[in-house]
Structure 1
Amino acid sequence: MASLKYIVKGNKNPSHFYVRFYHSKDFDLTTKTNLLINPNHWSNKQQRFKSLAEDIPDKAEITAYTEKLKAFIISEYNKAYTQGEVMSSQWLKNKVNSFNNRPSDGADYETYFIPFVDKWIEESKVRVNMATGKTISPRTIRKYNTTVERLKEFQVEQDTKLKHSDIGLDFHRKFVSYLVSQKYGNSTIEKYISQIKTFCREAEANGYKTNPEYKSRKFTFRRSKPLDPYLTVDEINDISKLEIEDNRLEKIRDLFIIGLWTGLRISDFKEQDRLQIVGEDILISQTQKTLAPVKIPIHPQIKTILTKRNGILPQFNLTPDALEVLFNKEIKNIAKLAGITQKIIGDKRDKKTNRNVRGIFPKHKLVSSHICRRSFVTNHYGKIPNRAIMTITTHSSEKQLMDYVKISQDEYVEMVRDHWENEEAKDNLKVV
């Protein structure tokens, strides 16, 4: 039968407090608990504090510790025995370190949060997403690393080293306060918190001692609803009719129009080997983000572009990243040339602080590549079935689709104005 005892060796005060775990002739293991104790206060034979030791400040804490550690070691032994593990001094030392929330053999990632996340991110570079069958994208890796940078900055500010067990509600409160003090927006904070929860789930899945509070409903953050603009049909028509002499700018405009009438992401244009024109449709064997195949009917404005370009989409001798940078820059200029300059309320990136700033800006300055999907969804919403729109945009739920429906503030204001005018007209008829 397995037995567990606590012993003090020597007479020096203080002395190390040891745990001995043994089982007849099978094993006899001893290791330090790393607690220190006065040998005159402890009875190795009776396995308790001596009766004369009544005024020890940490007596209750040590007694509770010995009971919890004993239960933990026996529980771990039962698991190890059923799995055929060999008992050794190192096994017992590792279990005591685990109970004490200390790394074993220099493996910081077992206890400390950021070393684990760094290791997990490095492994993610070659890890295959089982849901998609593809390796994790470099963009996702960059997002992970950005979150880790914020955590490292927080550690410096707090003068601490975060353990897995620290990532609870108290951490959440302090970390959010830190991010707010650094002028990060609500949406950015929500993304950081969401990724930290992902890291916690991975740590727990690896068997490390995490704080269950990360699963709390309070361990979250409400992102502010972004003020994302979209282009109306009239504005798209104005862009389509622009006379552009510069060949490269004209190609960007044509690609812009194709995006506005297909709802495709710029990432889908960057890999045109998967995109073909077949008859009256655009076929994509696999979209970049969702990996879904798509069939999109060709809009009349796209037909005009294809006729002008002999049935070939605009071609660019650029890397995918360079194309995205160029596209985002030039479509702002194109929108300005098309007269889309009315001032609206929106969020614009401040280059000095790299933060979004809410203010009143000319609409063309708020145009970016994602306006294509927002415009496609908004301009078709309510006119064709939602399922038809989702078939083209590859949204998996109507909730996801509705995030892209962007009725402008001006349109809502006009709805109120029309309602008032109709009510006034009714009142005037009653008077007559």
Structure 2
Amino acid sequence: MATTKLFLRVKNSPTPTTINLRINNGRSFDLTVRTPYKVISNEWDEQTQRRRNPFEKTTPRNPEGKQLKKEIETLNNNLTLLEVDFQNFITINPNASKDEVKKYIEDKYFPTKSANKKVATPKKNEIPELFSECIEFYIREKSKRITGKQIPISVATHKKLTTIKNNIIKYKKSLKLNQVDDNFRDNFTQWMQDLQYSSSTIIKDLKYIKSIIKHFSKKAKISIDPLNWEFITEKQDFTFPILSFKELEQIENTIYPHEYLENAKDWLIIGCYTGARVSDLLNFNHKNIIEDNLLQFSQKKIQNQTNDAEEIIFLHPKIIKILNKREGQFPRKISDQRFNEYIKIVAKTAGLTNIMLGGKIDKKTKKKKVEEYEKWELVTSHIMRRTFVTLFVGILDKDLIKTQTGHKTDEMVNHYDKTAKIDKAKQVREKFETILKIS
């Protein structure tokens, strides 16, 4: 998976300097390109890779402050969209050369005017005729921050919508907005099934398409069919894996042949006892520890979409034990991709070889394949949040669970809770027995 980093070459300059983008896609691919955006160096935050925003938790009252806040938010949103554009380009073109990547950014962000050819410029708010272009229009509309009315879509949503747009182009490039109807739904569903997409992915894509059509329903001519679409979610035939307390102890006590596995193992233990997203987890810093066992950090996934990105979480004694072993430091930082590779080896080395039904991405088709695997094969970074919620939901109430995981709704907590029905019944029994003893 390609990684990106935004940075400044020039520091301590009183004039705006160019923001650069570094792209790394494996050991042999390391490229730095300029972006069309600039910032004064002392206003740049190297940790968040964004312009510092003094108005994150306050609202300016004077016009100058409001304008400055708008400029900062616009720049930071544009940087987020730029990173997503590159991730999508690399995903679609995994073997792209450095010259092809350079051409992509030059064409998209530094377009040159042709002297011999006049290109018709569409009106700013004119709704395109092609559905694929409507999706791009929708992305731009939903990426704007409108104070009091709309927060920008997340990076993940932007990426998902771009994937849908690319699939629409592959399915039928000439598809028009008003041709998205029941016939389209049935044919597009069959097309995705032929490509071995899972039912959950197909339904999710159709729900997004329904939302897009609804968005344009008062602005353009559409078929009303999508507005009446209803979806039946098929019953999941397997359960996503979690790690039990016994398995965590097994992983913790195993001796690993290489230091990088010991490092990954410590991150895995920390993740399972905090429930943090991997993008936040691997950026934990001992300097942000307050009151000995509380950690303060900003959620990377939502820091540009909301003012409520700051979190403070409790560090379990298991985590403090790891920090003490490492002289107060968190494990060495590694990339998400390497982490996912290493924790599979960690789980295998620890003996998590029991057979279970699960879904795994097939390397040839790039689609999830459901069959029986050894448990270590199904271990990914997402197992940490599922493990935390499942192990501690019976101990902590949902509000406290959300404090640790950063989830905003009980529905999301329920989604991550993989507690078996018999275990839930036992929890009810234990609580009743405790109440009866007291009474």
State the alpha-carbon separation in 2 of the partners of residues 295 and 275 from structure 1: 13
SS at match of 1:396: coil
Partner of 1:115: 133
Partner of 2:163: 146
Partner of 1:253: 265
Q: Does 1:183 align with 2:196?
A: yes
State the alpha-carbon separation in 2 of the partners of residues 230 and 281 from structure 1: 25
State the alpha-carbon separation in 2 of the partners of residues 144 and 223 from structure 1: 23
Conserved in 1, the CA contact under 8 Å of 2:268 and 2:384? yes
Closer, same or farther: CA 404–201 of 1 in aligned 2, 3 Å? same
State the alpha-carbon separation in 1 of the partners of residues 368 and 253 from structure 2: 32
Conserved in 2, the CA contact under 8 Å of 1:256 and 1:372? yes
Conserved in 2, the CA contact under 8 Å of 1:263 and 1:375? yes
State the alpha-carbon separation in 1 of the partners of residues 157 and 179 from structure 2: 25
Greater Rg over alpha carbons, structure: 1
Q: How does 1:199-278 map to 2 (within 5 A)?
A: 199-204=212-217, 207-218=219-230, 220=231, 222=233, 224-225=235-236, 227-272=239-284, 276-278=288-290
SS at match of 1:360: strand
State the alpha-carbon separation in 1 of the partners of residues 257 and 147 from structure 2: 48
State the alpha-carbon separation in 1 of the partners of residues 327 and 302 from structure 2: 30
Closer, same or farther: CA 195–126 of 1 in aligned 2, 3 Å? closer
Kindly provide the amino acid, as one letter, of the partner of residue 115 in structure 1: E
Partner of 1:374: 386
Conserved in 1, the CA contact under 8 Å of 2:355 and 2:374? yes
Residue 313 of structure 1 and its aligned partner are, at CA, apart by 1.1
State the alpha-carbon separation in 2 of the partners of residues 284 and 249 from structure 1: 27
Deviations 1:95-126 (A, max 9, x none): xxxxxxxxx997795332112223444x3696
Conserved in 1, the CA contact under 8 Å of 2:360 and 2:368? yes
Residue 398 of structure 1 and its aligned partner are, at CA, apart by 2.0
State the alpha-carbon separation in 1 of the partners of residues 405 and 273 from structure 2: 11
Closer, same or farther: CA 105–132 of 1 in aligned 2, 3 Å? closer
Structure 2: runs of 5 or more not aligned: 1-119, 304-308, 427-439
Conserved in 2, the CA contact under 8 Å of 1:240 and 1:301? no
Please point out which of 354, 364, 389 is paired with 1:352.
364
Partner of 2:98: none
State the alpha-carbon separation in 1 of the partners of residues 167 and 314 from structure 2: 44
Q: TM-score, normalised by structure 2?
A: 0.61
Higher relative contact order by CA 8 Å / sep ≥ 6: 1 or 2? 2
Conserved in 2, the CA contact under 8 Å of 1:112 and 1:164? yes
State the alpha-carbon separation in 1 of the partners of residues 121 and 167 from structure 2: 28
Kindly provide the amino acid, as one letter, of the partner of residue 118 in structure 1: E
Closer, same or farther: CA 346–117 of 1 in aligned 2, 3 Å? same
Residue 274 of structure 1 and its aligned partner are, at CA, apart by 10
State the alpha-carbon separation in 2 of the partners of residues 286 and 233 from structure 1: 28
State the alpha-carbon separation in 2 of the partners of residues 166 and 290 from structure 1: 35
Give 4+ residue runs of structure 1 displaced > 4 Å after superposition. 104-109, 129-139
Q: How does 1:304-343 map to 2 (within 5 A)?
A: 304-316=321-333, 323-343=335-355
State the alpha-carbon separation in 1 of the partners of residues 297 and 279 from structure 2: 14
Residue 200 of structure 1 and its aligned partner are, at CA, apart by 1.9
Closer, same or farther: CA 126–402 of 1 in aligned 2, 3 Å? closer
Please point out which of 197, 203, 206 is paired with 2:210.
197
Closer, same or farther: CA 333–133 of 1 in aligned 2, 3 Å? farther
State the alpha-carbon separation in 2 of the partners of residues 288 and 131 from structure 1: 22
SS at match of 2:203: helix
Kindly provide the amino acid, as one letter, of the partner of residue 350 in structure 1: D
Partner of 1:94: none
Identity %: 28
SS at match of 2:239: coil
Residue 185 of structure 1 and its aligned partner are, at CA, apart by 0.4
Residue 310 of structure 1 and its aligned partner are, at CA, apart by 1.6
Kindly provide the amino acid, as one letter, of the partner of residue 197 in structure 1: K
